[in-house]
């Protein structure tokens, strides 16, 4: 069996790519981690710990804020961990098809002190819309002033922009600002290890002793949850991240995939604009990551699914990875039909 907290080489390397080689927190020994069953497992271990120990020893009434919209499992994970007050915060502005930064900041300003905020580190799921660095600075300033706790979910590092560093910018900035935080990491997408369930919870505390105490409690939680994690996927990641040659090769592979998605975004937008499809389509290239909020309404989505066999969620979210050079024209023409025929 692996240790309860997981493979040490995996945990150290996973936290390193999240926080960076020059992370002050790593240098000051105030970073710990827990190998988990995917990103969901990392979220759940973090949620269980926060519910038990975050602000006293019973936090069922502590508000947990998730973006509107968010990945649907965020709500379920925190509810099942025992939190009773899950609240949405403004994020997506449907009218302008972009980030509602003012609504987001207003919700943070009005949130009770010590509330927990679940933040998407990059490639927001499902909108594909991320705050800019300047907007992240605004978010951090409000969270620091209001004593709000950041819980990052990093499921797509490297897959958003093609750069591990750029996709981790927000997490690293919060660390540089002195925040204590959690960061749930998934290696399902950027390593293609979906079925191996490879995740990590990175813990950044105020000092080394603080982190040791947190990990000791997380160890108890893990012992009664999955007892100890599987090794195969973790060894694949650890071997890759600890070898300079393999690490460089992997980064190149991830960038190739990210660049392909960015190209598909550009090509889809250009085709829709060339067809004269009603509306604006710049949001497709302004969004990032695997998913795009197209702005299509439920009836238009239904038309695409039933008449064109193009499958997307009722919310209008489409998986950009499903686009290829062979189906781009068909998808663009079908979206054009849906928008022009159905209001």
The residues annotated as belonging to the active site are: 71, 153, 189
Which contacts of 106-113 are long-range, i.e. CB under 8 A and separated by 24 or more positions? 107/65, 108/65, 108/139, 108/142, 108/143, 108/146, 108/148, 109/142, 109/146, 111/63, 111/65, 111/87, 111/146, 111/148, 112/63, 113/146, 113/147, 113/148
Two structure tokens written together for 314: 């009722």
Query: For strand 64-68 and strand 116-120, is the pairing parallel, antiparallel, or unpaired?
Result: parallel
User: How far lies 256's CA from each of 249, 260, 261, 263, 301, in Å?
Assistant: 11, 6, 9, 11, 30
């Amino acid at each position: 069996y692996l240790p309860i907290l997981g493979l040490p080489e995996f945990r150290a390397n996973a936290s390193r790519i999240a926080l960076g080689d020059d992370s002050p927190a790593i240098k000051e020994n105030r970073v710990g981690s827990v190998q988990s069953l995917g990103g969901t497992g990392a979220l759940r271990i973090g949620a269980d710990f926060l519910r038990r120990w975050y602000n006293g020893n019973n936090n069922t009434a502590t508000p947990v804020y998730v973006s509107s919209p968010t990945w649907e499992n965020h709500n379920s994970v925190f509810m099942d961990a025992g939190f009773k007050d899950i609240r949405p915060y403004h994020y997506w502005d449907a009218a302008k098809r972009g980030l509602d930064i003012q609504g987001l900041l207003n919700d943070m300003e009005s949130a009770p002190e010590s509330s927990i905020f679940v933040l998407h580190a990059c490639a927001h799921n499902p909108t594909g819309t991320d705050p800019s660095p300047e907007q992240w600075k605004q978010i951090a300033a409000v969270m620091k002033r209001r004593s709000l706790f950041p819980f990052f979910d990093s499921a797509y590092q490297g897959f958003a922009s093609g750069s591990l560093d750029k996709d981790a910018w927000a997490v690293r900035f919060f660390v540089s600002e002195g925040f204590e935080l959690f960061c749930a990491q998934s290696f399902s997408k950027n390593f293609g290890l979906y079925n191996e369930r490879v995740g990590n919870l990175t813990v950044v505390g105020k000092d080394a002793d603080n982190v040791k105490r947190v990990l000791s409690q997380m160890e108890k939680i893990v012992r009664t949850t999955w007892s100890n994690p599987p090794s195969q996927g973790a060894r694949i990641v650890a071997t890759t991240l600890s070898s300079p040659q393999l690490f460089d090769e992997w980064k190149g592979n991830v960038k190739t995939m990210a660049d392909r998605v960015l190209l598909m975004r550009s090509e889809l937008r250009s085709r829709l604009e060339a067809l004269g499809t009603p509306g604006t389509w710049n949001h497709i290239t302004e969004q990032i990551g695997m998913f795009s909020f197209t702005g299509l309404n439920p009836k238009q989505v239904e038309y695409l699914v039933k008449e064109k066999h193009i499958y997307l969620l009722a919310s209008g979210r489409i998986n950009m990875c499903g686009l290829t050079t062979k189906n781009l024209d068909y998808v663009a023409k079908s979206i054009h039909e849906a928008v022009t025929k159905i209001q």
